Structures are given as C-alpha cells and as structure tokens.
Amino acid sequence: MDVRPIDQLTEAQAVEELTQLADTIAAHDIRYYQEDAPAISDADYDALKQRNLAIEQAFPHLVRDNSPSLRVGAARSEQFAPVEHGTPMLSLDNAFSDEDAAEFDGRVKRFLKIAGPVAYTAEPKIDGLSASLRYENGVLVRGATRGDGRVGEDVTENLRTLAEIPKRLKGSGWPEVIEVRGEVYLGHEEFAALNAAAEAAGQRTYANPRNAAAGSLRQIDPKITAQRPLRFFAYAWGLLSAPFAETQWEALQKLAAWGFKTTPQSRRVEGLEGLLEAYREMEAVRPHLGFDIDGVVYKVDRLDWQQRLGFVSRAPRWGIARKFPAQQARTVLEAIDIQVGRTGALTPVARLTPVTVGGVVVTNATLHNADEIARLDARVGDTVILQRAGDVIPQIVSVVEAERPADAAPYAFPHECPCELKTPVVRETTASGAETVVRRCSGEFACPFQKLAHLRHFVSRRAFDIEGLGEKQLTAFVEREWIREPADIFRLARDEAKLAELRQTDGYGETSVKNLVAGIEARRSISLDRFIFGLGMRHVGETTSTALARHFETVEAFVAVAERAAQGRPGKTYLALANLDGVGPTARDAILAFAAQPKDLLIPPDAALEERLRLAIPKLNRTARAALAGHFETWDAFATAAQLAVAQRPGDDFLEIASVDGVGEVAARMIGEFFAEEHNRLKVQALLAELQVVPAARPKTDTAVAGKTVVFTGSLERMTRDEAKAQAERLGAKVSGSVSKKTDLVVAGPGAGSKLKAAADLGIRVMTEDEWLELVGG
C-alpha cells in the first residue's frame, strides 16, 4: 500500500488508492463475512478502513456510492434470501482507554445537559456474530444475520436449531411485534471439539470461535447447523410495536423472563467510576468465562435518554464498546522468508520460535514489506513482541533491542527474486513516478512463483472455480510441466495419454481422475466477468471485472478494445503532468489544449514562469500555476513536456475502458499493460480456443434508453445512485462515470458541477431526475 501522507496525495493518487482499497476491502469482506476465513488481522483490516476513510475525508467528492466506509459488515451471500431489518442493525464506536471512556461519559452529560453521574449498563462484548429475531405474538417468525446493516440474510431455519433461541416467548407482556437482537457464539470447549472433529475428518478448521460460529450459522443445510453447539445471548432489540421497558437494565430482565439467556456478567453502574470499575472486573473474569469477549459495552441505562441521544452516522451516541488491548507475547525471529505473489510483489514473512498468544500457537507473522522491516529494524535472531487482537494473523509490534545477539546484522532486502531466474527486483512507482513500498519481481509469467500464483488465482473459487484442481494437484501438474498456462488445464482434460498416466500415479484413482475431468469440463463455459477476473490483471478485482463484463457484453468486444487500448495507453510524460499535485482535470485539459495549438503570444520573455503560465493559459488557477512552476522551473521545460504530453494522450479505446463506472484510469492502465504484452495476448487467445465465454446478460433493446450511455451526476433525491444505476442497466443502458463524446445522456441532480459543464461543452442532452424517471417509466 502506498503510505503517502494524506495531505500530499494528489487527486489522481487518491482515486488510485481508493480504487485499490475498495477492491482490497471488498475481497477481505468476502473472506471474512461470506467464507468465514479471514486472510488478514483485524488490526490490518481496520488500518485499511481507516486509510480509506482518511482519504475520503480529504477528498469528499471522491466518495463512491459503494465506498467501504458506507457499509457495515459486508455484502450478503446469494445463498440466503435477503431480509430487510425493521430498524437498521448498527454498530458501536470503540473506546480503547480510560480517557476514551471519560470522554464518552463527558459527551453524554454535555449532550443531556446534566451534571450528576449517569447510570449505565456495562455488558460483556460477546465476540460472535449478531442476529435479529423477529417475534410476532410471541412466536419466532424470522431470523436474520446483520448483512450490510439494513438488509441481512434469512437464516431462520438455522437459527431455529439453536436451543437457546426460544421458538415461542415465555411469560407475557411482550410487544406484539419485536425484533430481539443478540449474539450467536460458540464456547471454547465446543470450538475445540468442532475443530478436532474437522481435523480428524480431513476438513478445514476454523481460525477462532467467532469464525466457527459464523460458518456454522451460515450453512445451507440447517441440519448441519443443528449439529453445531451454537449459543445465543440477547442484549438489544430493533423494531417494536410498543415500548416494553424504561431502562436497558429492565429490558435485560424482561428478555431473560421471556426465555433468553442474557449476559451473566452485565451490571448496572453509576458514572465514570462505575464504568472503569466494571471494565477492570470484566478483564479479571474474562479468562474464566469459557467464551470469547473482546471488551465491555457501555450503554446509557435510561431509554428515554437513549432516544434523546440518538445516533451519529452508523453508531449510537448512547453506547460505546470499550475494547480490551491486544494480547502480546515474546518470541525469537528465526528467519525472514520472501514470498512472491501473483503480481510479483515480494512479501517478507517472519518465521518464529513457536509461542502461544491468546490461546493460539503462532509460528509465522507477516512483515508486510521492506519498509516495515526497516521501521522495526527487525533482524534475524532478535527477540520480538508479537500481538494478536482477537485476530488470525499476528503482528510484530516491536523488537527488544536489549536482547539482540551481538552478531545480528540489519536485514538486507533481496535485490533478486528468490526464484531460479533471479530476476532483478524493482521498486514500484505510482503514475506520477513516486516510489511505493512495494517491490516486485519483474519476471512475470517466467517467474515460477508468479506463474503458480497466477494459475492458483485462475482456478480459485471466485474465478474459474475448478473443482478437483486444488493447490496440491495444481502444483504437481505445474512441476510436471503439464500446465504452463491456463489453456493447458482445458487441454489436459482431453489428453487421454496424460490422463492414463495420471491413473497410474499414486494418490489418483479412476474416480479422482474422473472428478478432475468433470470439474474442468464444467468450466469450459464461463461467464465473462469470471473470465476477466480469472486473467488476474492487477487492479482488476471482481467488482471491476463485473463492470467491464456489463459494459462490453461479449469477450470479443472486450478483447478487441483492450488490445487497441494497449496501443493507446497514456505515456509517462502525460501521466506525470496529469498527476502532478495541484493539477486537476480542468488544468490538465487546458494545458493540453494550449500545447496542441500554441498561440503566438505577446509575453515578456523575462516574465517569471508563473506569470507566463497565467498569460498563456488563462484557465489555469493559482494552485496549478504554482505546481507547474515548482515542477518545471523554466518555460522551455514546461513547453516541451506539454508538447510531449499531447503526443502521449490516451486514445479513445483507453478512455472508453477508463470511463466505465467502477473501472477508472488505474485499472485501465493495468489492462493496457497486460494486453500490450504479446505473451498475454497469446495466452488469452489460447484460452479462448478452449472456452465458450457466455456474454453478460443481454440488456433489453425495446426501451427508451437501450444502448445509450448515461452519466448520473449530482445528488439524486428519489433513489440512491446504486438503484438508479441498476435500473438504467436493467433497461439496457450503459452507465458511465464520466462525460465523454460517447455519452448520450446526463442526468443531473442538485450539486452537479464539472460533468454538467462538460455535457454542455459537448452538446449532450441533460435532464433532471424527474425527467429521467418519466423517460424510463419509473
């Protein structure tokens, strides 16, 4: 990740990083929420979200409708029907110290304008997954996961299998309709037993009880959920047909009376002192609870006060989660290994003397990149402090310098790829030429590590999803040189000689060969989005691939445009100029227009560069002039670069790709780079000879907007941007993120700016949201 200070980011860099972050976060969300198998630690995930938020705060106009910051939790899986919650399921802000707790108490008192101590509940923060249970006339009618907070997944049948969830409420006095909310979790013993059984059966194990609980609840077959000893604590509620309590404390008693388990360590406390004391107590009982908690939840006790305090964005003002600090341990750094990923990025991995942290034996930790090693000054032989914060992959937080062996040398990051080619490692640069922390092997497909990683990506679940071709088989086939490129996989399935040889190989019988062939054959027909994603181009994640598939519809159209775009890629000088700090799109276009048609100007030759710029290109604002003057120093240097930039302008095909909503310039550049390589073009052709790529759903052709390219700009008042986009696409329109010659229609709401102007300049039809709805009959 580029770790530039936010205030030094140019807009183009911000766009680039936000795109990258959106894809990365979405991929982690899927691993975490849908596959229950996170790949990074909570702390790292939080860091990604924080960075995304910080950039968005600095560039508010770049916040996309599908920004990770606007989501709680993750996209729902398609396995379960969507359920809209009666009231949204929100999350809590975090507090990490006594000071944070004091601030919370202070905020509450200031808001309510009261001087005396406030009564709170202090409840253990259960580390599971939240669920919402709808009861009508005391009968459980529906159960759902949180999902994105607004819409969850219908897991009613699975939740019904939990013994601790009443199917019918006990006692009386419950509202006619109530959504009871709480946490589904798994105890330590049950977790250990579940993993032991999975291991014995050769199945995958879960990283921690929370993932195991999530994985168990989200089984398609409720019979499997029923076999898992999931438990449930109730602590809150959503929609109510009538109020049922005056305080949180009273509400907890009622929930218990109706048959729910409520958290046994919950307490009612007074003022800040009470909050701090409850936290210390919870820390002390934590090891003896038998289930994971990751902090204490403080809630204002009086519900009328909760009502007055209300919410800020997605979290209530009346509550906060005081989190426990991460658990730490010491161990020795035995070695630093380098792993090479699909894109050639070199990732250092710490090999550690095994040590137990928070109940888990740890032997590896990621060191992220060379800069991180340098920052820590981590050396082989060092004693290091490790940390796990309820997460999977531990972090090295620091090195104990006092215990460093005398002969420990500073770590020298390799200059060559660890593969047998020993290709030189290059430091990655951004569009504007700045170096990033990433070091890559330049060997691409010739590097055996990258080749294997590429192929692994190709067959992975979210790409071609080839059953029977797991890590082990793939590696073996690559070693035998049966598979050198993706097309070889499909060739293998009809290569009788090789299949016969395989039947004779240890570990493969008639059945496994049959399954392998069936797994491959099943994917000879593949959707365009999966095909594009499977190519493994950098910055082309699933979201981007889907956007490309929708836009281009057929693989032929996509490949043709991508190949031409490769020729029309913007050059270095263009990119450097366009991405210069302080030079926005308007300034860029003004410079290009000027350089394309230089006018004879009466400019005093001894004028300062900024002044000459002002006279020559009146459209440049002061920031742009200062940036250019700072960068170029002389008029000649500037003029030469501008001329070059004109020659290096991106071509129409490149711009078409870049303007697809959800794609953008960075991904377009990567696609261009990929298709500029002959070996990649050959690989694609070889693959296409084996496959049938199913075109993206053909849009309707009998609507007023079919085949038209539409841009939505400004704020929409009657629907969300996502809804508008989905509707337009359903009706056969293409939705683009920027206005160009190819745009047919601009739908502008309040606050529309530069796009509206661009439409006027190009003479494109502009309409209001109401006119649009009338046009599409919405």
Between 91 and 703, CB nearer to ligand IVH: 91
Strand 119-126 to 293-300 pairing: antiparallel
Size of the site for ligand IVH (CB under 6 A): 14
Between 232 and 235, CB nearer to ligand IVH: 235
Q: Does 144 bind ligand IVH (CB under 6 A)?
A: no
In angstroms, the CA 510 to CA 512 distance is 6
Closest approach, Cβ 476 to ligand IVH, in A, equals: 43
Between 165 and 513, CB nearer to ligand IVH: 165
Question: Looking at 82, 86, 271, 316, which residue binds ligand IVH (CB under 6 A)?
Answer: 316
Q: Does 321 bind ligand IVH (CB under 6 A)?
A: yes
Task: Count Cβ atoms below 10 Å from residue 266 Cβ, excluding itself.
Answer: 20
Amino acid at 612: R
Q: Which residues of 648-680 are buried (b: 16+ CB within 10 A; e: fewer)?
A: bbbeebbbbbbbbbbbbbbbbbbbbebbeeeeb
Between 227 and 262, CB nearer to ligand IVH: 262
Between 126 and 230, CB nearer to ligand IVH: 126
State both tokens at 198. Answer: 């999975």
Site for ligand IVH in 392-451 (CB under 6 A): none
Between 147 and 570, CB nearer to ligand IVH: 147
Least Cα distance to 739 among 715, 764, 704 occurs for 764
Give the HSE-up count for residue 575: Cα atoms under 13 Å, Cβ half-sphere: 17
Question: Looking at 183, 292, 656, 661, which residue binds ligand IVH (CB under 6 A)?
Answer: 183
Alpha helices in 201-321 (DSSP H): 209-217, 222-227, 248-257, 271-285, 303-309
Q: Which stretch binds ligand IVH (CB under 6 A): 3-11, 48-56, 118-126, 516-524?
A: 118-126
Q: Which stretch binds ligand IVH (CB under 6 A): 124-132, 203-211, 240-248, 525-533?
A: 124-132
In angstroms, the CA 264 to CA 710 distance is 56
Q: Does 595 bind ligand IVH (CB under 6 A)?
A: no
Q: Does 526 bind ligand IVH (CB under 6 A)?
A: no
Closest approach, Cβ 181 to ligand IVH, in A, equals: 7
Q: Does 297 bind ligand IVH (CB under 6 A)?
A: yes
- Residue 353 to residues 181, 337, 365, 530, 671: CA-CA distances in angstroms? 43, 14, 11, 41, 42
Between 94 and 347, CB nearer to ligand IVH: 94
Catalytic hit among 125, 254, 323, 683: 125
Q: Compute CA 488 distance to the chain's CA centroid, rounded to the nearest angstrom.
A: 32
Q: Which stretch binds ligand IVH (CB under 6 A): 88-96, 489-497, 578-586, 748-756?
A: 88-96
Q: Does 126 bind ligand IVH (CB under 6 A)?
A: yes
Amino acid at 257: A
User: Between 220 and 249, how does the x/- string for binding to ligand IVH read (CB under 6 A)?
Assistant: ---------------xx-------------
Q: Which stretch binds ligand IVH (CB under 6 A): 84-92, 456-464, 628-636, 657-665?
A: 84-92
Whether 125 sits among the annotated catalytic residues: the reply is yes
Environment class of residue 328 by beta-carbon count within 10 Å: exposed (0-12), middle (13-18) or buried (19+)?
A: middle
Q: Which stretch binds ligand IVH (CB under 6 A): 122-130, 350-358, 405-413, 585-593?
A: 122-130
Handedness of CA 23, 29, 30, 32 (dihedral sign): positive
Q: Does 255 bind ligand IVH (CB under 6 A)?
A: no
Q: Compute CA 652 distance to the chain's CA centroid, rounded to the nearest angstrom.
A: 30
Q: Does 92 bind ligand IVH (CB under 6 A)?
A: yes
In angstroms, the CA 658 to CA 654 distance is 6
Closest approach, Cβ 235 to ligand IVH, in A, equals: 4
Closest-by-Cβ residue to ligand IVH is 130
Q: Which stretch binds ligand IVH (CB under 6 A): 125-133, 208-216, 408-416, 425-433?
A: 125-133
Closest approach, Cβ 519 to ligand IVH, in A, equals: 38
In angstroms, the CA 460 to CA 743 distance is 36
Q: Which stretch binds ligand IVH (CB under 6 A): 120-128, 446-454, 600-608, 704-712?
A: 120-128
Between 293 and 733, CB nearer to ligand IVH: 293
Contacts of 260 (CB under 8 A, 6+ apart): 164, 165, 166, 180, 182, 232, 233, 234
- Report whether 414 contacts 649 (CB < 8 A): no
State both tokens at 526. Answer: 């593949």
Question: Looking at 22, 90, 425, 535, which residue binds ligand IVH (CB under 6 A)?
Answer: 90
Task: Count Cβ atoms below 10 Å from residue 167 Cβ, excluding itself.
Answer: 12
**Torsion angles phi and psi, residue 366, rounded to 5:** -80, 145
Question: Looking at 28, 85, 125, 254, which residue binds ligand IVH (CB under 6 A)?
Answer: 125
Closest approach, Cβ 451 to ligand IVH, in A, equals: 42
Contacts of 430 (CB under 8 A, 6+ apart): 2, 13, 16, 436, 579
Q: Does 123 bind ligand IVH (CB under 6 A)?
A: yes
Least Cα distance to 669 among 539, 532, 531 occurs for 539
Closest approach, Cβ 316 to ligand IVH, in A, equals: 5
The catalytic residues are 125
Residues forming contacts to ligand IVH in the complex (CB under 6 A) are 90-92, 123, 125-126, 130, 183, 235-236, 263, 297, 316, 321
